[in-house]
Amino acid sequence: MIRKILFISCFMIFKNMVTGQTYNTTAIIFNFNFNQSPFQLKKEYITDAGESIQVYKMKFYISGLTGVTVRGDTLALSKEHFLIDVADSSSQLIKVQAPQLQYLFFTIGVDSLKNTSGIQNGVLDPSRGMFWTWNSGYIMAKLEGVSSQANTAGNRFTHDVGGFRSPFNSTRKIRLLIPQNKINNTSVYIEVNLAKWFSGKYPILLKEQPICHTPSLLAMQLADNFVTSFTTSEN
Amino acid sequence: MPNKKIHILFLLLVICTAWITTDRFAFKPKPVKFEIPKGWPQPVYDFTKNPLTQEGILLGKTIFYDPQISKDGTISCGSCHQQFGAFNTYDHTLSHGLENMLTTRNAPALFNLAWQKEFMWDGGINHLDLQFLAPLTAHNEMGETIDQVITKMKASPQYKKMFKAAFGDEIISTERIGKALSQFLLTLVSSNSKYDKVKRGEANFNLPESLGYEIFKQKCINCHTEPLFTDFSYRDIGIPEDTYLKDKGRMKITGLSTDSLKFRVPSLRNVAISFPYGHDGRFYSLMNVFEHYRRNMVVTKNTDPVLQNKLPLSNYEIGQLKAFLGTLTDSVFLQDNRFAPPGINDGKPPIDNHQ
């Protein structure tokens, strides 16, 4: 046992001495807007289809953060899952160690293995309210609120997008080109336009589809819409 | 002298590591070996991720029988899963949850869960550790949030002690609750029925039982497959949809119309005492089930190919089949003190005070 401890300690010291990371810290920052006006929870917005909405909750998972350097090398930036929550600004900043990047890739949603291997911890803890208990699997992204057009109790609409099995796999890949106009780029600003949730690819009317809480065609369409919400900015 | 610096650093690290790990050394829960009955397949549950220990099993059992984990402190897992009914809801079509609200399905008996890959009548839950989240948070069952349960447990010195004994420290988390419950549920192995004793050469079937076994092997075994008496597939056996419950079964999970009205083949172990039957408990007796198979089935294109002409059974065959199904009752399991609620251990049904 002592030998084991000695070994591990040695190993750790030498690992740090030899492989000391030399990359800069890059901050990945998510900003939310609704067709270019700054986004706030509970504020009223009008969708592209002319429906009025107030959003109470907006959260989504991302995973598989990967960068492509200006030299063209692909680099895994993090193995972690992140839960980005509009209500929690600290969740909107992710710090990674990376050289200057040209592209940023990530997946919206949770790795399929994590959907099938029991209870996870941290941001993947089912107590975070992003897990379907009766049909095991994560909610990849959710947008909930009220709309006078939603014909439901309290005019509430609930768009919970999930499902990890084909044909209703709701994870989506995002590829973003990072503007290279600044020297020593250490921040990547990602703009998320939530208006696109309802109109990015498929027009979704709250009058007709106020509820999504199964892996379904509607979930697939919302996921396809959400992909179009993401752009980078030069801030 | 960079060498000296490294040495000091090194020593410090060793001391730190030793200090951090001493707590771990003191943590020695007693391992429990999971016995696989002779001739059974390998379990599908991954025990390496959640090794059984006496402390873990005891914690799981305590949670299973603790009504405090429900919203109003009245409903435990054991309220709906009763040992004398092989952990089904004894004699109830649907189960009563919070404020006497009913569940929408019949509570299945619980045993041999280590061999099961998916849970619930529609297979919607893909891991045993996750299962408790469904009844815990359903408004008509226990109606509680995970955070609330954890808060309640953290306020209890007894739970803190038990979590430490089972997992090495006092942290109470969703994952640990799930793992502890699984440990208890996994120990619910039913493999000591007369049928098992016959298979082991310790007993013999009488004539009706052995005739019944032959009929069973002809007519039932492709779905109710030995030794678990289910092949865990989802099938439509021509039970028409209840117009009030509107339960589409497996289709609710897959979204595929070809899965409409398909439900998991239930095990027939302990079937003689786990009435009522069917996913919504609509069959009060085995006789009702046989009548269904031979006369009342509503055959549609989704109905299992094997049952397209219903399942002809003569009165004589039904008699023998009943005798055989009786040999699947495991009274050792039904009365095993290890599974009984703390303090109650005669395994007998209580006086039913439901209206």
**What percent of chain A has pLDDT above 90?**
76
pLDDT score recorded for residue B24: 59
- In this predicted model, what pLDDT tens digit does every residue of B279-294 receive, in sequence order? 999 999 999 999 999 9
- Contact across the interface for A5 and B150, Cβ inside 8 Å: no
Rounded percentage of chain B residues whose pLDDT exceeds 90: 76
Q: Check if B123 contacts A (Cβ < 8 Å).
A: no
A10 pLDDT above the threshold of 60: no
Instruction: Report yes or no: B232 and B225 within 8 Å, Cβ to Cβ.
Output: no
Q: Check if B147 contacts A (Cβ < 8 Å).
A: yes
Nearest to B255 among A116, A120, A216 (CB): A216
Residue in A13, A126, A216 nearest the CB of B133:
A126
Q: How far apart are CA B255 and CA B62, in angstroms?
A: 37
Residue spans per domain, chain B:
47-189+334-339, 194-329
Phi then psi for A46, rounded to 5 degrees?
-115, 125
**In this complex, how many residue pairs, one in chain A and one in chain B, have their CB atoms less than 8 Å apart?**
80
Among the partner-chain residues A116, A127, A215, the one whose CB lies closest to the CB of B126 is A116
Q: What's the pTM value of the predicted model, to 2 decimals?
A: 0.89
CA A71 distance to own-chain centroid? 26
- Nearest CB neighbour to B175, from listed A10, A115, A119: A119
pLDDT of res. A12: 58
E strands in B47-159:
none
**Domain covering B47-189+334-339, topology:** Cytochrome Bc1 Complex; Chain D, domain 2 (1.10.760)
- Phi and psi for A167 in degrees, rounded to 5? -90, 5
Q: Residues 6 or more apart from A83 whose CB is under 8 A from it? A: A59, A60, A61, A91, A123, A128, A130
* A6-10, A94-98, B184-188, B331-335: least confident range: A6-10
CA distance A174 to chain B (A): 26
User: Hey, are the CB atoms on B124 and A136 less than 8 Å from each other?
Assistant: yes
| Out of B127, B146, B255, closest to residue A127 by CB | B146
Tell me how far apart the alpha carbons of residues B125 and B138 are, in angstroms, rounded to a whole number: 14
Mean pLDDT confidence for A213-235: 92
Write the class of the CATH domain B194-329: mainly alpha
Q: Is the pLDDT of residue B348 over 70?
A: no
Partner-chain contact A135 B14, CB within 8 Å: no
Residue B2 has pLDDT above 80, yes or no: no
CA-based nearest residue to B115, from B17, B20, B232: B232
Enter the tokens of residue B100. 């006497």
The model's pLDDT over B107-125, given as tens digits with 9 standing for 90+, comes to: 999 999 999 999 999 999 9
Contact between residue B161 and residue B54 where contact means Cβ atoms under 8 Å apart: no
Please choose, from the candidates B301, B59, B277, the residue with its C-alpha nearest in 3D space to the C-alpha of residue B185.
B59
The domains of chain A are located at 24-233
- When pLDDT is cut at 50, 70 and 90, the band that residue A77 belongs to is very high
- The reply to whether A90 touches chain B by the CB within 8 Å rule is no
**Chain B residues within an 8 Å CB radius of A8:** 17
Is residue B104 pLDDT above 60, yes or no?
Answer: yes
> Which range (A105-109, B58-62, B339-343, B345-349) has the least confidence?
B345-349
The two beta strands, A187-193 and A24-34, are parallel
DSSP symbol at B294: I
pLDDT classification of A137: cutoffs 50, 70, 90: very high
Is residue B237 pLDDT above 60, yes or no?
A: yes
Interface of A with B in 181-200 (CB under 8 A): none
pLDDT > 60? residue B321: yes
Look at A134 and B138 and tell me if their CB atoms are within 8 Å.
yes
Alpha-carbon distances, residue B201 vs A95, B38, B193, B195 (angstroms):
66, 12, 12, 10
Query: What pLDDT, on the 0 to 100 scale, is given for residue A15?
Result: 56
Structure tokens at B9: 């650093």
Interface-testing mutation among B103, B133, B250, B259, with chain A (most A C-beta atoms within 10 A): B133
Q: Give the C-alpha separation, A66 to A75, whole Å.
A: 6
Interface of B with A in 176-235 (CB under 8 A): 178-179
- Taking only the tens place, the pLDDT of each residue in B194-231 is 999 999 999 999 999 999 999 999 999 999 999 999 99
pLDDT confidence of residue B293: 97
User: Between chains, do B14 and A9 touch, taking CB under 8 Å as contact?
Assistant: yes
Residue B89 has a pLDDT of 82
Please compute, for residue B125, the number of CA atoms within 13 A of its CA located in the half-sphere on the CB side.
Answer: 18
**Average pLDDT taken over every residue of chain A:** 90
Report whether pLDDT(A70) > 90. no
Pairing of strands A82-85, A74-76: unpaired
Confidence of residue B1 (pLDDT cuts 50, 70, 90): very low
Tell me B53's DSSP state: B
Interval B49-71 mean pLDDT: 95
Q: What pLDDT band is residue B57 in, cutting at 50, 70 and 90?
A: very high
Q: Is the pLDDT of residue B302 over 80?
A: yes
Closest C-alpha to A108, from A82, A85, A127, A130 = A82
Residue A217 reports pLDDT greater than 70: yes
pLDDT at B143 over 90: no
Asked if the domains at B47-189+334-339 and B194-329 fall in one CATH topology, the answer is yes
Contact, B108 vs B297, CB < 8 A? Answer: no
